[in-house]
């Protein structure tokens, strides 16, 4: 039987009645599934509320026979969801990278502009840069063009280590994630560059 918006709204209402209310109005909200093949029971969704000034985004997880989770800005909730899933199996470095990408997407900061970058072209510089800013951009592109790549994993101990890159406001960060075969994640970040002439604003 297909999962409906109404099913998800009923499940999430005790936890976040505002998200449930938004899901009840198809004209003012949208919902999109985020694929995460490592999960066996849970499905991850992005709920977008079409607010007047800018969309408001929520990330949630739903299972027909399990508690719902609000994943937005909450790495611990993602790990708890994976534990509740009970069937997470990550068998390769590529699977770990895909899993970590979902984790980074749904737990990213939402009060500031934050996004994963997989190539240099993903970095959003401001238009109309002055001479000094244009020179800074060229230096950045020369340095990080060969560095920025899609999330990539390698075997590390009993699990995997994944490296990814993201922009937070005007900084470039390198994320390092330790991913277990059953879905636990520990992450750390390193700021590589600050005060870049990038597009800024709320997420």
| pLDDT tens track for 75-128 | 999 999 999 999 999 999 999 999 999 999 999 998 889 999 999 999 999 999
Are residues 161 and 148 in contact, defined by beta-carbon separation less than 8 angstroms? no
Task: Give the domain 1-88 fold.
Answer: 3.30.720
How many residues does the structure list for the chain? 203
Ramachandran sector of residue 128 (left: φ over 0; alpha: ψ -120 to 50; beta: rest) = left
Cβ of 189: how many Cβ atoms within 10 Å?
A: 14
pLDDT of residue 139: 97
Q: What percent of the chain has pLDDT over 90?
A: 92
Residue 53 pLDDT exceeds 90: no
Closest Cα to residue 78, out of 104, 115, 56?
104
pLDDT of residue 203: 47
pTM exceeding 0.95: no
Q: Where in the chain is the domain with CATH 3.30.720?
A: 1-88
Q: Virtual CA dihedral for 178, 180, 186, 191, nearest 10 degrees?
A: 20
């Amino acid at each position: 039987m297909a999962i409906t918006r109404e099913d998800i709204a009923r499940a999430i209402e005790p936890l976040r009645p505002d998200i449930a209310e938004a899901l009840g109005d198809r004209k003012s909200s949208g919902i999109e599934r985020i694929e995460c093949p490592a999960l066996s029971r849970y499905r991850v969704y992005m709920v977008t509320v079409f607010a007047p000034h800018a969309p408001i985004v929520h990330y949630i997880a739903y299972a027909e026979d399990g508690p719902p989770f609000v994943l937005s800005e909450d790495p611990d909730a993602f790990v708890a969801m994976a534990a509740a899933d009970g069937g997470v199996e990550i068998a390769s470095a590529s699977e770990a990278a895909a899993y970590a990408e979902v984790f980074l997407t749904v737990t990213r900061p939402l009060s500031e502009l934050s996004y994963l970058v997989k190539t240099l072209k993903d970095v959003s510089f401001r238009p109309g840069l002055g001479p000094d800013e244009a020179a800074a951009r060229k230096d950045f592109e020369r340095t990080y063009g060969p560095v920025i790549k899609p999330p990539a994993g390698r075997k590390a101990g009993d699990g995997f280590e994944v490296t990814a890159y993201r922009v937070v406001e005007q900084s470039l960060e390198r994320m390092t994630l330790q991913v277990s075969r059953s879905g636990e994640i520990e992450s750390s970040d390193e700021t590589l560059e600050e005060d870049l002439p990038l597009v800024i604003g709320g997420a």
